[in-house]
Structure 1
Amino acid sequence: MQTPIPDYLAEVLDKLRDDVSGATADYIPELANANPDQFALAITTATGGTYSAGDTNAEFSIQSISKPFAYAAAIMDRGLDRVIESIGVEPSGEAFNELSLDPETNRPKNPMINAGAIAAHGLLLGDKADPEERVARVLELFSRLAGRQLRIDDKVFQSELETADHNLAMAHMLKKYGILNDDPHEVVAGYTRQCSILVTVEDLSIMAATLANGGVQPRTRERILDADTARQVMSVMAVAGMYDGAGDWLTRVGIPAKSGVAGGLVGVLPDQVGIGAFSPRLDKHGNSQRARRAFEQLSKDMGMHLFAPSNGRLDVVDVKLETLKETFSLQGNVQFTAAAELLDLMEKSTAQNAVLLDVSGVYSFTDVARRMALEGLRRLRLDKRHVLLHDPWQVLADPHLGDGLYPENV
């Protein structure tokens, strides 16, 4: 059988594809020329499974999505205390390009707005660091996070640098107040190169899943960030990642996120998943219109809100192969990650005759996890397997597999 998760993601895209509101970022010529119809979505679990749909091979510049990861690099290079001396962590309640400085300390209010991100880039490697080495630092880190070698789009870089007067003005202001110690033009050029790194939605989902994993890359299992740095980055994403819409986003969607003006959107749920989405048309806040709505749909369908109660119990998947029967066991409150792992295990099933799903240790299913489990059983039945279910507490409630058929209760 094939896992149905990409089919679900494709349904989300199809549901939103007719939304053509918003516009590409016309103040940057290279971004204004982007294909506005491209649309893609990817999810990577903390266990390393990646599922995607749409224009998954489309590369786009990372833009402001680089901010949380460059902030992580600054913390690793200089230490959190030194970074906080230069950059605050309070939501600004303002647009991404506002010069939001603390009236007492003159620090940018957070690293997610441009002023804070420019300051973060200026902290990389240390004062008076070589500008090219700073760029190499973020490119190397982002590539390790994504699990592949990334590259810079020079056309996007040149296009942005030609329209970087506002960022240059902010950098000079930061220099005046002692937040920047290096040449403002060099720092802004480096920051612009950082924003011009090309990624795909799958790259973003893997990078975010590394944060969700406390800094461990879910595929390579390399520890790239320490756990405290990952926690700091996710916390700031939660309160400030969506700019002047951050409060509304956190309460409604509940997924710490960061957007970019090329149309990318990245989100992270600790211990669960990293999410990447892409669609170039932007709303009034500078966030991708369709990517934003895709996140809203995922949160609704999958119970992904950060503050959704889980009764403190973890979900667990186990598999036991006997001669003719394979048993898949679930425990706890089953959410998307465990259901995705279950489907991966079902896809690899080598049982010759029967498969048994044992949910006797499950307290509850989220709606999407229930649908995923039943879809897995349905596809195994289509593969001519004898499908059995052990559900003494009826947590799957009416487990029909389509065509009026049900698994055999044992």
Structure 2
Amino acid sequence: MATSARDRTSEHRKGSPDGPVHPLHARLQAVHHDLSGDTGGELRSSIPLLAEADPDLFGLALTTADGQVHQVGDSGHRFTVQSVVKPFVYALALADAGPEAVMAAVGVEPTGEPFNALVLEAETGRPPNPMVNAGAILTACLVDGETAAARKDRIRSGLSAFAGRDLDDDEQVSESEKGAGARNRALSWLMKDNGTLPYDVEDALDVYVFACSLLVDARDLSVMGATLAAGGRNPVTGEQVVDAELVPTVLSVMGTCGMYDGAGGWFVKVGLPAKSGVAGGMVAVQPGQLALGTYSPPLDEHGNSVRGFKACTRLSEELGMHEFRPGGRGLPVTVRLDGPDARSSAGRTSEEEDVLAAHCSRLHLVRLQGPLTLLTADSACTALLEAAKGWEAPHWLTVDLSPIGWLHPPAVDLLQEAVDSLVDSDVHVRLVDRVRENRRPWEGATPDDTLDDLDAALRSAEDELLARLG
């Protein structure tokens, strides 16, 4: 029998000395653990300093559109962003120069060619899209700034706003890249000869190489991607980085062109707008929901991180993230913690009432409302686990799912994993689900964990507390 995603994450959930573990964090831990031994791929040799990277480094991060960050492994190790910068510089160019001017200068069609191919549009002489090197060189010139130095300042500040922190650049990698940049120089002169690069070639290359040399980590990439997922608003800082109306254009080009000549295979397997870089970074975005950031230096033949590709593929499968998967997102779930005064309507003896009144701080009720999606499941799991941090075992928690109208099956798995984590910490959980026959079965600790009546569930928790106290 195939091992389920929930089974694969159980040991990572239970192994924490800090109590209950968020199921998304446990999911990242399981993926990181399983892929850490993968030795496929080669380091990038065209830029000398990148060939010196440690092939064993591997970091994963996930940031939701409401600002929850989960990260594992070498997620804090910094590296140069390289081509992962392209969609974000494109977003800045759209914001500064306007969509009309940018699209007049750079196309949006996929090429099926490598990222550094000496290819321009036959009829216009334009770069085919902003995700290949020719397009990115020109796009970097379209951000605000009268000089190369001013454009570099704009790119640094704009990318820092996407990441939610001030980004530095790596001058050594920048110089290394300039020295090995004969092909980019050829692309620039080809555009210059076609009249599509109305800027000084060396200035244009200087700005582009600077953008690629900004230092990020996997967490930064996940936050930057989540800013696109949240409509241009950084979900961690709250800053509106670019207008929401520009985001569909950026994500559309990422979806069709972001993974170069491997874009088709990527979208079939993973189904998310994404961008990779030759330093080993990768970002993948689920619009309205979350973003993944990965780092692992060994690359495949397309220039994409081997471990990053596999991690995104597996997480997309397990969490149902593919953009063309049937289903909906809906509005966020409302989580209301009613606290220790959550009681049933059962008639009690005076002695029972005295005991329940003295120990009612051990009784809790949480009600979830609205569709259950990955984003809303994350919020629900966070609320449950955060609330449980201050509880001294044992406690009894009733989770009312009755107001939920639509369930995304992988989101159900996440919520169930949070419940399992609570059970592991001596929290006795009851689920209330009135339409179980229409939904994926819950797999609680015992067959009686899922009830169809809220009052019955509260009464059951009270009965167990009374029995526990003798």
TM-score range, shorter chain: over 0.9
Correspondent of 2:144 among 98, 114, 125:
125
Describe the SS at the equivalent of 1:215: coil
- Superposed, 1:222-371 pairs within 5 Å as 222-311=239-328, 313-314=330-331, 316-322=333-339, 323=341, 324=361, 325-349=363-387, 353-371=395-413
Q: Which residue of 1 aligns with 2:184?
A: 167
Report the AA paired with residue 149 of structure 1: D
Describe the SS at the equivalent of 1:362: coil
Q: Which residue of 1 aligns with 2:116?
A: 97
Report the AA paired with residue 301 of structure 1: E
Q: Which residue of 2 aligns with 1:68?
A: 87
Task: Verify the 8 A CA contact 2:174 2:210 in the aligned structure 1.
Answer: yes
Q: Which residue of 2 aligns with 1:27?
A: 46
The 2-side partners of 1:10 and 1:368 are apart by 17
The 2-side partners of 1:355 and 1:232 are apart by 45
Structure with the largest fraction of helix: 2
Task: Verify the 8 A CA contact 2:333 2:380 in the aligned structure 1.
Answer: no
Describe the SS at the equivalent of 1:111: coil
Report the AA paired with residue 282 of structure 1: L
Task: Verify the 8 A CA contact 1:255 1:269 in the aligned structure 2.
Answer: yes
How far apart are 1:136 and its partner, in Å?
1.1
Report the AA paired with residue 129 of structure 2: N
Report whether the alignment pairs 1:202 with 2:219.
yes
The 2-side partners of 1:257 and 1:406 are apart by 43
Report the AA paired with residue 26 of structure 2: D
Task: Verify the 8 A CA contact 1:301 1:367 in the aligned structure 2.
Answer: no
Q: Which residue of 1 aligns with 2:73?
A: 54
Task: Verify the 8 A CA contact 1:97 1:113 in the aligned structure 2.
Answer: yes
Task: Verify the 8 A CA contact 2:444 2:450 in the aligned structure 1.
Answer: no
How far apart are 1:315 and its partner, in Å?
5.2
Count of residues in Structure 1 that have an aligned counterpart in Structure 2 = 406
Distance 1:231 1:392, change over 3 A: same
The 2-side partners of 1:371 and 1:298 are apart by 13
* 1:149-206 superposed Cα distances (whole Å, 9 cap, x missing partner): 1100111101111001110111111112222111101111211111010101000000
The 2-side partners of 1:193 and 1:384 are apart by 53
Distance 1:291 1:196, change over 3 A: same
The 2-side partners of 1:398 and 1:4 are apart by 16
Distance 1:406 1:107, change over 3 A: farther
Q: Which residue of 2 aligns with 1:397?
A: 441
How far apart are 1:373 and its partner, in Å?
1.2
Q: Which residue of 2 aligns with 1:148?
A: 165
Distance 1:375 1:172, change over 3 A: same
Q: Which residue of 2 aligns with 1:16?
A: 35
- In structure 1, list runs of 5 or more residues that go unmatched: none
Describe the SS at the equivalent of 1:182: coil
Percent identity (aligned): 38
Report whether the alignment pairs 1:116 with 2:154.
no
Report the AA paired with residue 303 of structure 2: G
Structure with the largest fraction of strand: 1
How far apart are 1:272 and its partner, in Å?
0.2
Report the AA paired with residue 108 of structure 2: V
- In structure 2, list runs of 5 or more residues that go unmatched: 1-19, 342-360, 452-456, 458-470
Report the AA paired with residue 379 of structure 2: E
The 1-side partners of 2:43 and 2:188 are apart by 26
Q: Which residue of 1 aligns with 2:10?
A: none
Deviates further, 88-97 or 373-382: 373-382
Deviates further, 386-395 or 100-109: 386-395
The 1-side partners of 2:33 and 2:369 are apart by 33
The 2-side partners of 1:284 and 1:257 are apart by 17
The TM-score with structure 2 as length reference comes to: 0.83
Report the AA paired with residue 41 of structure 1: L
Deviates further, 9-18 or 143-152: 9-18
Correspondent of 2:106 among 61, 65, 87:
87
The 2-side partners of 1:45 and 1:312 are apart by 13
Report the AA paired with residue 46 of structure 2: Y
Describe the SS at the equivalent of 1:334: coil
The 1-side partners of 2:270 and 2:76 are apart by 27
